Structure 1
Amino acid sequence: MSPEDQENIASFGATIYFNVVNVIVLGLGYGVLLPSTFIAGLSLGFKSGSLSRLILISSLAVIFICFTLQVFSVGMAATLISVHLTLVQTLPGVQDGLAEQALKSDNKVIPINNMAIWLSLITVIMSDSIVVWRAQILFPGSKTVRYSLILLMSINIAINVTDCILDEIDLTRVLLGNKSILFDWLSGVFSMLEIKIEV
């Protein structure tokens, strides 16, 4: 085994380790989300079926479905597919060994990773929208708070969608370097501003 192959195996081992830790953290989050969604659904389901309750239950269901897809298809399936295509199965047309095999397997996992970006976007936007919606109910007479929350939520949605588009471009071809980190940072700032205004 050449030193280059040893380096590639060590690099791929570190990537597998990172992906397994990611799956563990996602599984832990899913373990917290599952009972809390069940409890919220039960407590909301026993009360009167007003429109606001139905919207809240529907939003929680969408968040639950998106997070479930993210955990199982993206977290677990992408890791298993990547390991299988790199270490177990030999892909046709591979001539340079493990490095080219890993590159081809990464290209096959890109659609799953793109799905993860958009699923997390839907989860974040739905969660932020619920918080803003409930905060507007707490301040029914204050139009400045209401309009500022709507403005910040609109900016937050725009920044998050832009960030997802840039992340998807970065996954398929690196054009922008680390410029999408700015949008990650800005989305966090606007989420914090929304929370600060609500308090």
Structure 2
Amino acid sequence: MTPSEAKFIAYIGSSIYSETCQWMVACILYGAFLIPAILAIYLFLENGLQGYRRKIIFSVLILVVLVATWNYLPAFAIPLIMVKFDTRAEESVVAENVAINPWLDQISWPSIITLLISDGIVAWRAWVIWPGSKIIQYTLITLMFGNIVLNLAGNIFQNVQMDFVTSNSLSMVAIFISLGVNITATAMIGLKIWYHHRTTRILHWSKKRTFSPAGRILLLLVESGALFCIVQLITAILNILNNYTALLSSLQFAYLILIQFFLGLTSIYPMVIMILISLDQSALDETFQHDNGGTINTPSPTIPT
């Protein structure tokens, strides 16, 4: 066996190992996604679809399920195609690449659509609880508009095989714009829960509760949003480092696995928010429900409009 042949076999082995690990992670995450997805659909149907707002939210929920399923189909199909080829011959490797390329071309679009929907839901949550602040609403609109344009442009440039530097730069900027949307929206929800807690804690003091019912829902939104931001930040950093690392290195392997985890999280996160909405309808409104069935109108802190 010549050194070049040994190097080729080692490369094939590393590639198969990497693909197998990604496939296993994708299968696990899709299974983890189906659980909250089924629960969210069940809760929405049980509570009814009265009103245009609930119908819109339910339509978005179904769209996320369909797009997420589309996203995982290539992950399931590619390994099944790869096992049909003898990777010991270079000609078979070329034929394998030709066979899986149509599936690879489909991977980016569903993941981008899911990410944009997830970002839009987070921005919508912040928008709903700050109905009177124009500066927050304009900030969210601007960030989401830039997020949509850059993600779509980066993916189009990548698919038409334009200049690598241009498409890669757009993808980099899109990642951080998406991160900016999530950080801004999560921070705005966090500010709202702080002010809401400050104005309602006396009412719940006798019941020895740290947060009101609506406050706990908002707290869950902040905690889940913070987790999403942390994972997205780590993914963005590894994306940058991945451009300067060797092919199939340990860093690239970690990046590919984290990408699968992040894509799974972008599908699961909207389901979590949908479940929270179904469990406590007061989180949808400008008022917060009290345990006795009444409402407490919570004034917003002073923010320039």
Q: Same fold (TM over 0.5)?
A: yes
Letter in 1 for 2:24: I
Q: Is 158-167 or 177-186 further displaced after alignment?
A: 177-186
Q: Distance in 2 between matches of 1:2 and 1:68?
A: 44
Q: Distance in 1 between matches of 2:83 and 2:166?
A: 30
Query: Shift of the alpha carbon at 1:180?
Result: 3.1
Letter in 2 for 1:6: A
Deviations 1:73-117 (A, max 9, x none): 211211221331344xxxxxxxxx822321222122111111111
Query: How is 1:36-47 mapped onto 2 (pairs within 5 angstroms)?
Result: 36-47=36-47
Asked if structure 2 preserves the Cα contact closer than 8 Å seen for 1:56 and 1:130, the reply is no
Q: 3-state SS of the aligned residue for 1:46? A: helix
Tell me the matched-pair count. 185
User: Partner residue of 2:70?
Assistant: 69
Q: Larger RCO: Structure 1 or Structure 2 (Cα < 8 Å, ≥ 6 residues apart)? A: 2
CA distance 1:190–1:116, change in 2 (3 Å): same
User: Partner residue of 1:101?
Assistant: 92
Letter in 2 for 1:194: V
Instruction: Identify, as 1 or 2, the structure richer in helix.
Output: 1
Query: How is 1:80-99 mapped onto 2 (pairs within 5 angstroms)?
Result: 80-87=80-87, 98-99=89-90
Asked if structure 2 preserves the Cα contact closer than 8 Å seen for 1:16 and 1:79, the reply is no
Q: Distance in 2 between matches of 1:79 and 1:181?
A: 27
CA distance 1:22–1:167, change in 2 (3 Å): farther
Instruction: Please tell me whether residue 180 in structure 1 is matched to residue 174 in structure 2.
Output: no
Q: Is 76-85 or 155-164 further displaced after alignment?
A: 76-85
Instruction: Please tell me whether residue 190 in structure 1 is matched to residue 177 in structure 2.
Output: yes
User: Partner residue of 2:25?
Assistant: 25
Query: Shift of the alpha carbon at 1:17?
Result: 1.0
Q: 3-state SS of the aligned residue for 1:23? A: helix
Asked if structure 2 preserves the Cα contact closer than 8 Å seen for 1:152 and 1:193, the reply is yes
Q: Distance in 1 between matches of 2:170 and 2:123?
A: 21
Q: Distance in 2 between matches of 1:56 and 1:69?
A: 20
User: TM-score, with normalisation over the residues of structure 1?
Assistant: 0.82
Asked if structure 2 preserves the Cα contact closer than 8 Å seen for 1:117 and 1:167, the reply is no
Largest Rg, 1 or 2: 2
Q: 3-state SS of the aligned residue for 1:135? A: helix
Deviations 1:110-141 (A, max 9, x none): 11111111111111111112222222111111
Deviations 1:5-35 (A, max 9, x none): 3332221221111111111121222122111
Q: Distance in 1 between matches of 2:27 and 2:53?
A: 30
Which 5+ residue runs of structure 2 have no aligned equivalent? 188-305
RMSD in angstroms over aligned alpha carbons?
Answer: 2.0
Letter in 2 for 1:186: V
Identity rate, percent: 26
Q: Distance in 2 between matches of 1:79 and 1:179?
A: 31
Which 5+ residue runs of structure 1 have no aligned equivalent? 88-96
Query: How is 1:102-141 mapped onto 2 (pairs within 5 angstroms)?
Result: 102-141=93-132
Letter in 2 for 1:32: A
Q: Is 28-37 or 178-187 further displaced after alignment?
A: 178-187
